[in-house]
Amino acid sequence: MMPDWIITAILVAIKLGFVLALLLTGAAYLVLAERKLLGRMQLRYGPNRVGPFGLMQPLADAVKLLMKEDFIPAQGDKVLFFIAPGIAAVTALITFAVIPFGPPLRLFGREMPLVVCDLNIGLLYFLGLSSLAVYGIALGGWASNSKYALLGSIRALAQLISYELSMGLSIVPVVLMARSFSLTEIVNAQTHIPFALLNPPAFLVFLISVLAESKRTPFDIPEAENEIVAGFHTEYSGMRFGMFFVGEYINVIILSSMVTVLFLGGWHGPLLPGIVWFFGKVMLIAFLFIWTRGTLPRFRYDQLMHFGWKVLVPIALLNVVVTGAILLLLQG
């Protein structure tokens, strides 16, 4: 019989491998799905040349990005220019560690929770990393020594910190209702009814803030291509651009997962196995992201800041107080 810790180590290694493979292929195919769906929404085919139905397109893209020339603009800050895309990719990759993607599994006669690491402060870990991700954009834009990059990164900074506020405030009611920071506990608190139904204002504020946090249409002002070329990654080429890109799409997956975990009841659902429910819900939210991109035009910058500070923050704050009062009344 193998010692206990070896089995634990093997199980953790399997989970790590699964999560990493899932995130990287998921991000690659999310790009393809987005291009296909946007194509259909605009009455085009989308990519369909590489492999059957264009299914090998992500592979071709990766090879292309790897073969491209990788240069640093003159007068750019070399060290920061190197580090910035790394921060973007690494923060995105390690956030998924605390997200539970299925009910505990029984393997080798022991319970295995389907989460890489069930931290009791999982929610704070997610918030901390989403704040850290801002550094990748700030440093990348500043180190490029390009006006468009700097403008894009300043815009992105102000937008990200503004919407982080409403995102953080809209999570407080969830913590109030679940009484825990552990994401597994939060999912278990929604066994009977998801928090999206119990507290729709928090759900809506969180969904909108998440859309803004992912820097996608209608909040894609940091990279508004017809104003400032490509924003903070204007000067990036090759695989370094690829890392910003991968980070962005992994972020979409993670934010969709957070919506699922915090408000849609995670893996809970009738009939089908939990893991199917979880990824079904995540894909639904990811589709919503793509759908809004195909539907809505871009905000103006002043509209964006007004909306964040004058609409979302007051609603979220009021919602915290109201939720607290109702919970207090229910307790008696």
208-237 positions binding another protein, by CB under 8 A: 229, 234-235
Binding string, residues 66-85; x marks residues near another protein by CB under 8 A:
xxxxxxxxxx------x--x
Could you say whether residue 147 binds another protein (CB under 8 A)?
yes
Please give the structure tokens belonging to residue 9. Answer: 């180590």
C-beta of 319: minimal distance to another protein in Å? Answer: 12
Could you say whether residue 110 binds another protein (CB under 8 A)?
no
Round to whole Å and give the CA distance between 5 and 177: 36
Binding string, residues 288-327; x marks residues near another protein by CB under 8 A:
-------------xx--xx--xx--xx--x--xx--xx-x
From 28-36, 175-183, 188-196, 208-216, span contacting another protein (CB under 8 A): 175-183
Round to whole Å and give the CA distance between 173 and 315: 12
C-beta of 150: minimal distance to another protein in Å? Answer: 6
Q: 232-271: which residues touch another protein (CB under 8 A)?
A: 234-235, 238-240, 242-243
Q: 115-134: which residues touch another protein (CB under 8 A)?
A: 116-119, 124
| Of 41, 172, 283, 288, the one binding another protein by CB under 8 A | 172
What one-character-per-residue DSSP string does 170-202 give?
Answer: HHHHHHHHH--S-HHHHHHTTSSS-HHHH-HHH
The residue with tokens 């979302």 is 312
From 148-156, 189-197, 262-270, 271-279, span contacting another protein (CB under 8 A): 148-156
Contact 198, 28 (CB under 8 A): no
| Of 175, 198, 204, 283, the one binding another protein by CB under 8 A | 175
What one-character-per-residue DSSP string does 85-119 give?
Answer: HHHHHHHHHHHGGG---EEEEEETTEEEEESS---
Nearest to 189 by CA among 119, 127, 277, 261: 261
C-beta of 10: minimal distance to another protein in Å? Answer: 12
Amino acid making up residue 48: N
Note the residue count of the chain.
332
Please give the structure tokens belonging to residue 92. Answer: 């995105």
| Of 31, 35, 103, 162, the one binding another protein by CB under 8 A | 162
Please give the structure tokens belonging to residue 206. Answer: 């969180």
Q: 1-60: which residues touch another protein (CB under 8 A)?
A: 12, 15-16, 19-20
| Of 89, 205, 261, 264, the one binding another protein by CB under 8 A | 89
Going from the C-alpha of 329 to that of each of 42, 149, 170, 332, the distances in angstroms are: 51, 51, 21, 5
Number of residues interacting with another protein: please give it, by CB under 8 A: 77
Could you say whether residue 112 binds another protein (CB under 8 A)?
no
